Amino acid sequence: MQKPRIIARLDIKTANVVKGIRFEGLRIMGKPDELATRYYEQGADELLYIDTVASLYGRNNLSDVVKQAASHIFIPMTVGGGIRTVGDAQTLLRSGADKIAINTAAVKNPKLIKELASILGSQAIVVSLQVKCVGPEKWEIYVDNGREKTGLDAMDWAKQVEELGAGELLVTSVDRDGTGLGFDEQFISRLASNVSLPVVAGGGAKGPQDISHILSETDASAVAIASMLHYGRATIGEIKQELTKVGISTARH
């Protein structure tokens, strides 16, 4: 079994890393390369870049950001936002990304997942699940940075994308994003038990104990964190110290 991963998430709007609460009220956190370098030096296992306005403008603008990072950062990088075609994905992979993440385009055209997986390999395809709890034990998929509901049941969609060839699932709880209320443990636990793909938990972590808890109590393979790092509530080193206390060793220990 692979060791769990701590993934630093960088949501990017134009030239800046931004962060909001439930995807709204975005505040500038800093420059992408400065923050990526900081989290790499702190011991991040992976980096996740998301172009937050790509769906609005119809293309991903992170090629240059990824190229710059790849010149001096030597951990896996996943890049998402506005990827609609195999060509879009190939451009980012050539720039230095190891994996691409898709959400809106996958919902609009599920066959894209199969096409990407067949050409690029499942290991390079991450499907992003922006989920919102809409009833007792019921979660719905959202797109366009948590703004648009789809009517898709999150569990059913997760199983479908697995069958289509996705290699990993990236979960962001729209309800909890940026709130510090903790992960949606119920959803993460159920999802990770119902699919065979690695599940990355995101949305809601306040401190290192939230991370040690979700990795201890569910089958999540990784966590993606942003606010905790950007606001200095904990470093990745401090997170890994907390994990060591409960017997968890990460990929880049």
54 in helix, strand or coil?
A: helix
Mean pLDDT by 10 residues, the chain (253 residues): 91 91 84 97 97 71 93 97 93 97 95 98 97 93 86 97 98 90 94 96 94 96 96 96 93 73
pLDDT given for residue 144 in this prediction? 80
Residue 134 tokens, joined: 């809409």
| Cα-based torsion angle of the residue sequence 236, 237, 240, 242 in order, rounded to the nearest 10 degrees | -110
- What pTM was computed for the model? 0.95
pLDDT given for residue 135 in this prediction? 92
pLDDT given for residue 178 in this prediction? 83
Q: Are 203 and 174 spatial neighbours (Cβ–Cβ below 8 Å)?
A: yes
pLDDT given for residue 200 in this prediction? 98
Task: From the options 3.20.20.60, 3.20.20.70, 3.30.360.10, 3.20.20.150, give the CATH code of 5-245.
Answer: 3.20.20.70
Helix (H) or strand (E) holding 69: helix 63-70
Residue 101 tokens, joined: 């993440």
Backbone conformation region of residue 28, classed left if phi is above 0, alpha if psi is from -120 to 50, else beta: beta
Buried b (16+ CB within 10 A) or exposed e, 169-205: bbbbbbbbbbeeebbbbebbbbbbeebebbbbbbbbb
Domain boundaries, the chain: 5-245
Q: Are 184 and 176 spatial neighbours (Cβ–Cβ below 8 Å)?
A: yes
